[in-house]
Chain A
Amino acid sequence: MAGGGQVRGIRDRIRSVSSTAKVTRAMELVAASKMRRAQDRAVQARPYAETMRTVLAQLAAVTSGGDTSTLHPLLQTREPKHVTYVHITADRGLAGGLNSNMNRAGASLILEHQPKVDRISVITAGRKGRDFFRRSGMELLADFPELGDFPNFEDVRPIARLIIDEFTSGRVDQVFIGFQRFVNAAVQRPTIRQLLPIVAPADVLAGAGASNTDFIFEPSPEELLATLLPRFVEMQVYEAVLEARASEQSARMVAMRQATDAAKEMVSDLTLAYNKARQDSITGELLDIVGGTAAVENK
């Protein structure tokens, strides 16, 4: 009977879709708890970053009358011949448009700089970004896979070490970093910043002009700057990775919630169809019986 087969088919689909919903619901819950932790870590890293920015601003104000480019190799602006872009993405997908949006932002940075420079290369942290740039045939300077969901400062440090080395040795003239900035649980924004040479944001410079405290420096301001600047770069990379991780978990949470909702909706549609099909098949059977009986009686 055709009706019975259809009923069974729908029942199997309901079962499969609702088990998918269970899986996505579980993934949503996991992502939600990881997001809280990742967000927490990003918040906890903030005081250090803020203190470091004010300290650097004060140091820069004391050591120079405004021109900082000669102070330290990491502040030196050169004509960009070789530009490197540090691309931070997730290792895993199932996070809505998060990774592809980041990849697109990275690609447009590269397209913008490519005509102006001799060489452009990419450093990736995250499988999704690496696969993307590998497919598009970009030069990969380095790859830092599997940083994990909650990388600590020491895990991220090698990335900063590498770019500082490349920059101070003169092999690379300019370094950018791109990551998904965590705005809130529903919004993540692809953000690209210049990492090297270090550029002081406008508000820092303004604050520096205002500070006129006479500091005692141990050792000299120049030496202090030399120890702080590499640390500053490390910290910026660390911050970027923390933001990217918080974004990843929140994007995944939202994507999985949508998937769960869609699956549930599908289950209710299918249930409706199932009931209809079942009724049809019962009606069909009844008609057969009634028709059969009538035929016998009319004989």
Chain B
Amino acid sequence: MPLKLTIVTAQRTVLEQDGVTKLVVPAAEGQITILPSHAALMSSLAIGEMVVFTGSASESIAIHGGFIQVANDEVSVLADAAETVDQIDLDRAEAARSRAQARLQGRDVDLVGGMDVLRAQFALQRSLTRLRVARRRAGGATGVPSSRP
């Protein structure tokens, strides 16, 4: 029996999909793959790319931390933030990446204390994830090139 997947954030439901055959998830302790009849699981999520396989098609989703629960072939993802490929603003992600990198290389004078380094690292991770997911748009397995919003 294929999986039923729901991805929700505090703001909205990002994705509801039946018939999922495979799921690759950026779990906190490393990437995991979930197939139908997976054991019941609860795990926190890292920032990264999640790939949803539905038969031969696949879709990439940027996940920015959160939580996943798998039980009885139902997968619930409580994401801090999540975006599908066509929801990502490429220019913004690119800008965020260069800003975060600049901060980490100490070119930004506002950088004080470890907290900001951590924040910049997270920002960098998020923007890289977005860029990686967004790139799927061009030659990804999704097949259908979607127009930019």
Set of chain B residues within 8 Å of A217, measured between Cβ atoms: 41-43
B51 an interface residue at 8 Å Cβ cutoff?
no
Choice from B11, B29, B42 contacting A45 with Cβ under 8 Å: B11
- Complex-state Cα separation, A231 to B9, whole angstroms: 11
B13 proximal to A (CB < 8 A): yes
User: What A residues does B71 contact at CB under 8 A?
Assistant: 213, 215
Q: How many angstroms between the C-alpha atoms of A152 and B10 in the bound complex? A: 9
- Given A48-B78, A55-B76, the answer on whether A227 and B8 have CB atoms closer than 8 Å is no
Closest-CB distance, B7 to chain A (whole angstroms) = 10
Asked if B67 and A227 sit within 8 Å, CB to CB, the answer is yes
Residues of A within 8 A of B13 (CB): 44, 47
**Shortest distance between the CB of B47 and any CB in chain A (Å):** 14
Q: How large is the interface on B (under 10, 10 to 19, 20 to 34, 35 or more residues)?
A: 20 to 34
Does A153 make an interface contact (CB < 8 A)?
A: yes
Choose one: B8, B40, B72, B76; the contact of A216 (CB below 8 Å).
Answer: B40
Asked whether, in the complex, the Cβ of A218 is within 8 Å of the Cβ of B10, the reply is: no
Instruction: Select A238's contact among B10, B12, B43, beta carbons within 8 Å.
Output: B10
Chain B min CB distance to A238 (Å): 6
Question: When chains A and B are docked, how far (Å) is the Cα of A216 from the Cα of B39?
Answer: 7
Q: Are A52 and B40 in contact (CB under 8 A)?
A: no
Chain A residue at smallest Cβ distance from B72: A213
**Does B69 reach chain A (CB closer than 8 Å)?**
yes
Q: B69 contacts A55, CB within 8 Å?
A: yes
Residues of B within 8 A of A235 (CB): 10
A51 within 8 Å of B (CB atoms): yes
- Tell yes or no: A224 within 8 A of B by CB: yes
Given A44-B11, A48-B8, A235-B10, are A218 and B69 neighbors across the interface (CB < 8 Å)? no
Interface bits B30-43 vs A (CB < 8 Å: 1, else 0): 00000000011111
* Neighbouring A residues of B27 by C-beta, 8 Å: 218
Least CB distance from A139 to B in Å reads 29
A51-B8 CB under 8 A given contacts A44-B13, A228-B67: yes
Q: Given A216-B39, A234-B10, list of 19 further CB < 8 A pairs?
A: A41-B11, A44-B11, A44-B13, A47-B6, A51-B76, A59-B42, A152-B11, A153-B9, A153-B11, A213-B72, A214-B40, A215-B41, A215-B42, A218-B44, A224-B42, A224-B43, A227-B44, A231-B78, A235-B10
17 sampled A-B residue pairs with Cβ under 8 A: A44-B12, A44-B13, A45-B12, A51-B69, A51-B78, A55-B42, A58-B69, A152-B11, A213-B72, A216-B42, A217-B43, A218-B29, A219-B28, A221-B42, A224-B42, A224-B44, A227-B44
